[in-house]
Amino acid sequence: MNKPVLSVSSLSLKLPTGTREIETYRLAASRTFPAKLEGTLNRVAFSAAHVVADPLADVDPWLSAAVDWDRTIAFREHVWDLGLGVAEAMDTAQRGMGLDWPTSLELITRSVRAAKARGGALVFSGAGTDHLAVEDARTIDDVIRAYEEQIAAVEKAGGRIILMASRALAKLGRNADDYAKVYDRVLSQVREPVIIHWLGDMFDPALANYWGTASLDQAMDIAVGIINANAAKVDGVKVSLLDKQREIDMRRRLDQRVKMYTGDDFNYAELIAGDAQGFSHALLGIFDAIAPAASYALSRLAAGDEAGFRDVLEPTVPLSRHIFKAPTRFYKTGVVFMAYLNGHQDHFTMVGGQESTRSTLHLAELFRLADKAGLLANPEVATRRMKAVLALRGIEP
């Protein structure tokens, strides 16, 4: 197992500070992680992957999604090389926030095809109800039919299912019985066990009161009851509530056949490491931005080197907390900015024009934190690209 190469940088650039001043920031010592998985993993780990926009497409970004398919699939190849799975067409891919269902299905189809060409790389894909406008959803049966339509389309493409939370169900579902009706019906029909996705309203305000209640304690009871009743049809549960203890509590209550996939981009290192009573697998948006470090850290954990795991992964947590800070739904901007800094795309353009959702100060702090964690794959390239973005925002190098 090769250790990450540590090298001292002499690079510097001018970055804005919170006091409206400009400082000269000198880059820290950088790490170079293996480009491919070395060793094995003892956790199932998915990266929820972003899409690369086509910056030369003649479209209005607020109205139409233009995707650079070659770069988008190339990024998934990068994730698979590192031994991670791809969680496809999820909120990290701006699903329902710039990426509509027809484009999502094309993304899923292309990604599943690419995975099969590699001999069966791991990919699960989001199936939800987002083609059903919330205002057009009248009954619980409308929600069920919408889920069935997307599940059928993903399964026809040869894909495995991540059952996404439904905005329409959040609007119509009033109690545990409504949610049980939907999930029992839908899960009874799937070909293979699915991953259930519980996305908190910090990620999507339209999902407030999911499971039919504003009480998270009651919501947890309802969710656990429905999942355990359908355990044979559930591979695992991804919880994105940014609440470490609730995830641990839920993990301990799940049927032993059901995996817990942490979606906690604030506390993932300790949740994956686990405790005497268990651990979480991973399905994380931040693994898009830190995939090489995540792969290496997980390989160290599998080798019994928990200190090595923590040495690599814990320094990434401050960056993740920054990228996912409130309003959390804008985290995709930070994920794509990291992909730009690290050379996975040649521009900082996003579907829906969402490169504008974070401030210059936010991006400057992201750069500092990525540097301190050793996450800039090529510090010279990253510095040059950071300077280009700053120049567009009025800060000359």
* Domains of the chain with bracketed CATH: 38-353 (3.20.20.70)
Q: Report CA-CA distances (Å) from 396 to 23, 205, 370, 391.
A: 12, 37, 21, 5
Under DSSP, the state recorded for 359 is -
Buried b (16+ CB within 10 A) or exposed e, 101-118: bebbbebbbbbbebbeee
For the chain, the residue count is 397
pTM of the complete model: 0.95
Mean pLDDT, the chain, rounded, equals: 96
Do residues 76 and 70 touch, judged by C-beta distance below 8 A? no
What residues are paired with 197 via a beta bridge? 238
Buried b (16+ CB within 10 A) or exposed e, 286-325: bbbbbbbbbbbbbbbbebeeeebbbebbebbbebbebbbe
Cα 318 to the chain's mean position, in Å?
16
* Residue range 338-389, pLDDT digits in tens: 999 999 999 999 999 999 999 999 999 999 999 999 999 999 999 999 999 9
H or E element that contains 14: strand 12-16
pLDDT band at 99 (very low <50, low <70, confident <90, very high): very high
* Whole-number pLDDT of residue 10: 81
- Please state the φ and ψ torsions of residue 163, each to the nearest 5 degrees: -85, 105
Whether the pLDDT of residue 76 is over 80: the answer is yes
* Whole-number pLDDT of residue 85: 98
* Residue range 213-241, pLDDT digits in tens: 999 999 999 999 999 999 999 999 999 99
* Whole-number pLDDT of residue 29: 77
Number of Cβ within a 10 Å radius of residue 252: 11
For 64, residues 6+ apart whose C-beta sits below 8 A from its C-beta are: none
Could you give the 3-state DSSP secondary structure of residue 275? strand
Structure tokens at 388: 């280009």
* Residue range 256-310, pLDDT digits in tens: 999 999 999 999 999 999 999 999 999 999 999 999 999 999 999 999 999 999 9
Do residues 67 and 51 touch, judged by C-beta distance below 8 A? yes
* Whole-number pLDDT of residue 86: 98
